[in-house]
C-alpha cells in the first residue's frame, strides 16, 4: 500500500505564503489604505486563490494583522517591563520597547476609524495603556512626573502624541528610531529637557538591537 506523501512541506509552504502576505499587507496598506486584495496578491507573489484561501476578505486580513500586532505588543510589554527601575527610566524602557511595534504596525492607525472600530483598538491597546498609566502614577508619587493631570489622562495624552508621530513617520514627515519620541514623552510628563535626553540616551544604549 502506497503511503501518502508527507504534508509537512505543504504546511511549511502555506505558513510561508501567509507570513509573506501579511508582511506585504503591512507595507502596502501603509502606502495605500485602499489597496485591493488582488493587488496585495500580486505584490506578495501569490495567486489570488492562495490569498483568498488564507484571508477570504479584507476584514479577515485586517483581523490577522491586529492579532499579529497584539501578540507583538504583549511580547514587547514583557520585555520592556522594568518595575525595579526609577519611573523615568521605566517609562523610557516602555517607550523604546513599544516603538518598534508601533513602527511596524503604524498603518493600522490609519485604518482604525474606517475598518477596525474604536472598541477593537481599545481591546488591543488596553495592556499598554494600563502599563503606561501605572508607570506614570509611580513617577508622580516619586516626584519625577508632574501632577497637573491624573495619570490616566496624562497617559492618554502621551499616547496621542506617540500615535501622531507614528503617523508622521508613515507620511514621511518625520524619522525616528524611538529616541526623539521617548525624549518628547518624558518632557511632556514633566522631566526637564536635559535630564530627559540623558535618561533616554542611557536607556537607548542598554537596549538590544530591534528584531526585523
What are the tens digits of pLDDT across the range 31-41?
A: 888 889 999 99
pLDDT band at 134 (very low <50, low <70, confident <90, very high): very high
> In whole angstroms, what is the distance from residue 32 CA to residue 99 CA?
22
Q: Are residues 84 and 32 in the same domain?
A: no
Where among 15, 34, 56 does a domain terminate? 56
Q: Is the pLDDT of residue 121 over 80?
A: no
Q: Does this model's pTM top 0.85?
A: no
Q: Are residues 113 and 202 in the same domain?
A: yes
Question: Does residue 212 form part of some domain?
Answer: no
Q: Are residues 180 and 113 in the same domain?
A: yes
Write the CATH number for 81.
1.10.357.10
C-alpha count within 13 angstroms, C-beta hemisphere, residue 143: 0
Q: Are residues 113 and 174 in the same domain?
A: yes
Buried b (16+ CB within 10 A) or exposed e, 10-44: eeeeeeebbeebbebbbebbbeeeebebeebbebb
> In whole angstroms, what is the distance from residue 210 CA to residue 99 CA?
10
Question: Does residue 211 form part of some domain?
Answer: no
Q: Is the pLDDT of residue 164 over 70?
A: yes
Where among 56, 73, 93 does a domain terminate? 56
Question: Does residue 124 form part of some domain?
Answer: yes
What are the tens digits of pLDDT across the range 52-106?
A: 999 998 889 988 988 888 898 898 888 888 989 999 999 999 999 999 888 888 7
Q: Are residues 125 and 169 in the same domain?
A: yes
Question: Does residue 170 form part of some domain?
Answer: yes
Maximum distance among all alpha carbons in the chain? 78
Give pairs for 193-198: CB < 8 Å, separation 24+. Answer: 195/88, 196/88
Q: Are 199 and 191 in contact (CB under 8 A)?
A: yes
Question: Does residue 15 form part of some domain?
Answer: yes
Q: Note the pLDDT of residue 137.
A: 97
Return the C-alpha cell found at 174: 518625520
Q: Note the pLDDT of residue 120.
A: 78
Q: Are residues 48 and 65 in the same domain?
A: no
Structural domain of 196: 58-206
Q: Are residues 148 and 75 in the same domain?
A: yes
State how many domains the chain has.
Answer: 2
Q: Are residues 164 and 195 in the same domain?
A: yes
Q: Are 189 and 146 in contact (CB under 8 A)?
A: yes
Q: What is the mean pLDDT of the chain?
A: 87
Q: Are residues 26 and 93 in the same domain?
A: no
DSSP letters for 72-139: HHHHHHHHH--TTS-HHHHHHHHHHHHHHHHHHTGGGGGGIIIII-HHHHHHHHHHHHHHHHHHHHHH
Place of cell 537596549: 207
Return the C-alpha cell found at 76: 514587547
Q: Is the pLDDT of residue 156 over 50?
A: yes
Q: Are residues 67 and 146 in the same domain?
A: yes
> In whole angstroms, what is the distance from residue 169 CA to residue 171 CA?
5
Q: Are residues 106 and 191 in the same domain?
A: yes
Amino acid at each position: 500500500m502506497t503511503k501518502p506523501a508527507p504534508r509537512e512541506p505543504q504546511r511549511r509552504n502555506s505558513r510561508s505564503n501567509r507570513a509573506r502576505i501579511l508582511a506585504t499587507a503591512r507595507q502596502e496598506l501603509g502606502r495605500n489604505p485602499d489597496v485591493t486584495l488582488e493587488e496585495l496578491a500580486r505584490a506578495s507573489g501569490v495567486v489570488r486563490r492562495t490569498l483568498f484561501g488564507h484571508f477570504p476578505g479584507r476584514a479577515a486580513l485586517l483581523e490577522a494583522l491586529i492579532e499579529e500586532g497584539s501578540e507583538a505588543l504583549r511580547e514587547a510589554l514583557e520585555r520592556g517591563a522594568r518595575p525595579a527601575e526609577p519611573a523615568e527610566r521605566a517609562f523610557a524602557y516602555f517607550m523604546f520597547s513599544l516603538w518598534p511595534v508601533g513602527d511596524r504596525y503604524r498603518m493600522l492607525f490609519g485604518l482604525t476609524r474606517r475598518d477596525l472600530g474604536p472598541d477593537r483598538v481599545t481591546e488591543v491597546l488596553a495592556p499598554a495603556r494600563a502599563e503606561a498609566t501605572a508607570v506614570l502614577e509611580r513617577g508622580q508619587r516619586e516626584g519625577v512626573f508632574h501632577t497637573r493631570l491624573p495619570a490616566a489622562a496624562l497617559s492618554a495624552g502621551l499616547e496621542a502624541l506617540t500615535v501622531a508621530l507614528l503617523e508622521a513617520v508613515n507620511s514621511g514627515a518625520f524619522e525616528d528610531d524611538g529616541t526623539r519620541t521617548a525624549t518628547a514623552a518624558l518632557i511632556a510628563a514633566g522631566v526637564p529637557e536635559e535630564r530627559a535626553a540623558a535618561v533616554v540616551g542611557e536607556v537607548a544604549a542598554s537596549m538590544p538591537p530591534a528584531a526585523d
